[in-house]
A and B are shown apart, each in its own frame.
Chain A
Amino acid sequence: MKNDKNFFKNLFSNKYRSRTLSFLIVIVGYILIEIMMATGSLSSMLKSLLVPVTCYIVAALGLNLNVGVSGELNLGQAGFMCLGAFMGVCVSGALAPVIANGIVRLVLAIIVGAVVAALFGILIGIPVLKLQGDYLAIVTLAFGEIIKSLVNNMYIGFDANGFQFSFVENKLHLAPGGKALISGPMGATGTQLVSTFTVGVILILVSLIIIYNLLYSKSGRAIMACRDNRIAAESVGVHVANTKMLAFVISAALAGAAGALYGLNYSTLVPSKFGFNLSILILVYVVLGGLGNMTGTIISTIVLVLLPELLRGLADYRMIIYSIILILTMILTNNEKVRSYVGGLREKLKARISRKEAEAHE
């Protein structure tokens, strides 16, 4: 009995509080939405946002590992999502005749998407992580644009003889019954929709488990040490290149998984969707949620995806208001006066709680 009590106490200890909170938010949110779906109080607009929100959350969690925990500004997250999405579409399309069950195909697609994105993450990480600061940011941006542009010129088809592949020009000669999976700038068309909200939520939980296990491990501490002081970390024997690579590759893999889920949620998908703007959008979720704060990322992603929808009543003005909210949030959260005020409130709250606890003990 005492052990149980310790377990719960541990869950809300300073060290693990954020982890517990992240899982709680996801699970409670899932249950709430399932209830709303069952009672039919969810508009079709919001329903169509459920899967994309889970994709954005997973990609943003990955990016937070890279930008917040590892401290490297990555502007190419959409590139990895692009890889994951189109790999996922290919896998699901090719397996459609063999495996009828959509969920199995989706899971396979997510795994393949994550693995391919991770492989590209290693390839790209080798040159990228040699650079620092803004130069690193621009190279990730460049890689993101290159991936988008390559996928934009790729033609992949599948027929009885297996995969067919051509580049720049459409030279596919598919046997009867074959299917063009990706057709250049037109992207993927006629994709079977197999993504579900439940799988999305499970994917978020899996990513949280991966990230928190990493953060509380030796490697996680090494990643943060490299961020805080590269030279000091090196001098105590941390292999900086490998450590940074670990964060970069996991971030890429999560983006790939999110991409696969995203790609299988739309019947048509064009590569130009995964441009610089999507990378920036995900970066906004991460920075607004707080660097290194996974719970914050989840909340800010949900709020920022819903915000334009909630402002829909304002019609044309909604994106303007969205941008003003973005600017004001950044200015206010960095304002000394606002900070000290919020800090003061927190101190008061803490003092009150500890006083109550003391009274309870007496």
Chain B
Amino acid sequence: MAFLSYLINGLSLGSVYAIIALGYTMVYGIAKMLNFAHGDIMMVGAYVAFFALNSFGLPVIPSVLLSMLVTTCLGVVIERLAYKPLRQATSLSVLITAIGVSYFLQNGAQLLWSSSTKVFPSIISSGAIKLFGGQLQISYLTLVTIAVCIAVMVCLTLFINKTKTGMAMRACSEDKGAATLMGINVNRIISITFAIGSGIAAVAAVLLCATYPTLSPTLGSMPGIKAFTAAVFGGIGSIPGAFLGGLMLGVIEILSKAYISTQLSDAIVFTVLIVVLLIKPTGLLGRKLNEKV
């Protein structure tokens, strides 16, 4: 029973990673860049939700929507100002710019909201479902987190596969030049990708803060790295890959914390990543690229 409860906790943490990883993987798939500022966009989302709940006293759903709106705008603005001028530059220059943006957001948050930690209010009642005569308890929070993750995943898959914009996104990730020739506005598609990725980062932020309720300007960096790892784990650029990678990373982290060692859990997570990449060099669901001369 203990194992089952750890597993469910792992899935819940993994759901948060998966949602953040979706943002990483979509941006990578289309703009071919590692957006290291993604975790910090999530951090901004967490602060906006915090102030909406605490200072404005808004209910939960409007707060999340407001937070999503802010991060969506932020993502698009960052893309326009910092990344768009570098469309033709080498990937390393774009990477350093993303790091610059990450510093900017972290220090800006520190300036605006001070570096002292804040406590996120609880948004979901603390009850739990009891199964097997009370042997297995699943808190509502865990259930909501997993449900939201599945909902986000389903919506995103439908969007990518069924809508015209989604088709354009797939075309851009396949071949930007050919997509342009087909009359697709590549710049607009990249902006939309940033908008969606940043918007769902706010959802992840609220779920993360509901579980670990301390807010600080560096809140986004560790989940950001973990989510990036999850995206690579599943095969970067692949949306189902990010989902699978995120869930597996969360489960491995919680299980190794429970059964092996709390301090070594990070080391174990990264070791599993290395082993997976050695067996499958492009991640679990990544496509193999053939090298041509």
Q: Which positions in A face B, CB cutoff 8 Å?
A: 67, 73, 127, 130-132, 134-135, 137-139, 141-143, 145-146, 149-150, 152-153, 168, 185, 230-232, 276-277, 280, 283-284, 287-288, 291, 316-317, 319-320, 322-324, 326-327, 330-331, 333-335
Contacts and interface: CB of A to CB of B under 8 A. Distances in A.
A73 B270 contact: no
A334 B93 contact: yes
Given A134-B232, A280-B36, 12 more contacts: A132-B281, A138-B232, A139-B273, A139-B274, A142-B229, A143-B270, A150-B267, A231-B291, A277-B221, A320-B104, A327-B97, A333-B93
B229 A331 contact: no
Interface string B156-182: 000000000000000000000000000
A280 B277 contact: no
Q: 8 shortest A-B CB distances, which residue pairs? A: A326-B100, A323-B103, A142-B270, A334-B89, A323-B104, A149-B267, A327-B100, A319-B107
Nearest to A318: B107
A168 B96 CA distance: 35
B85 interface: yes
A317 B263 contact: no
A309 B221 CA distance: 24
Given A134-B236, A145-B270, A319-B103, A327 B93 contact: no
Contacts of A139: 273-274, 277
Contacts of A168: 261, 263-264
Contacts of A324: 100, 104
Contacts of A231: 291, 293
Contacts of B85: 331, 334-335
B103 A326 contact: yes
B73 interface: no
Contact of A330 (B96, B228, B274): B96
B5 interface: no
Contact of B93 (A287, A317, A320): A287
Contacts of A277: 221
Contacts of B282: 135
B92 interface: yes
24 contacts: A127-B274, A130-B278, A131-B277, A139-B277, A142-B274, A143-B274, A145-B225, A146-B267, A150-B264, A168-B261, A185-B263, A231-B291, A284-B96, A287-B92, A287-B95, A319-B107, A319-B110, A320-B111, A323-B100, A326-B99, A327-B101, A330-B86, A331-B86, A334-B88
Interface in B66-109: 82, 85-86, 88-90, 92-97, 99-101, 103-104, 107-108
Nearest to B94: A330
A146 B103 contact: no
Interface in B114-152: none
Interface string B220-259: 0100010011001000100000000000000000000000
Contacts of B278: 127, 130-131
Given A130-B278, A326-B99, A334-B89, A135 B283 contact: yes
Contacts of B8: none
A325 to B, nearest CB: 8
Contacts of A130: 278, 281
A265 B95 CA distance: 31
Nearest to B96: A287
A277 B40 CA distance: 14
Contacts of A287: 92-93, 95-96
Given A130-B281, A149-B266, A150-B267, A330 B97 contact: yes
Q: Which of B82, B95, B273, B281 lies at the interface centre, i.e. has the most chain A CB atoms within 10 A of its CB?
A: B95
A288 B99 CA distance: 12
B34 interface: yes
Contacts of A149: 263-264, 266-267, 270
Contacts of B274: 127, 139, 142-143
Nearest to B92: A287
Contacts of A230: 291
Nearest to B97: A330
B145 to A, nearest CB: 25
Given A231-B291, A280-B99, A284-B99, A291 B104 contact: no
Contacts of A137: 34
A149 B104 CA distance: 27
Contact of A141 (B82, B225, B283): B225
Nearest to A229: B293
B229 A138 contact: yes
B271 interface: yes
A128 B36 CA distance: 21
Contacts of B110: 316, 319
B112 to A, nearest CB: 10
Contacts of B90: 334
Contact of B86 (A132, A145, A152, A334): A334
Contact of B100 (A127, A153, A330): A330
Contacts of A67: 92
Nearest to A326: B100
B273 A138 contact: yes
Nearest to B89: A334
Contacts of B270: 142-143, 145-146, 149
Contacts of B232: 134-135, 138
A280 B97 CA distance: 12
Contacts of B277: 131, 135, 138-139
B218 to A, nearest CB: 9
Contacts of B266: 145-146, 149
Contacts of A280: 36, 99
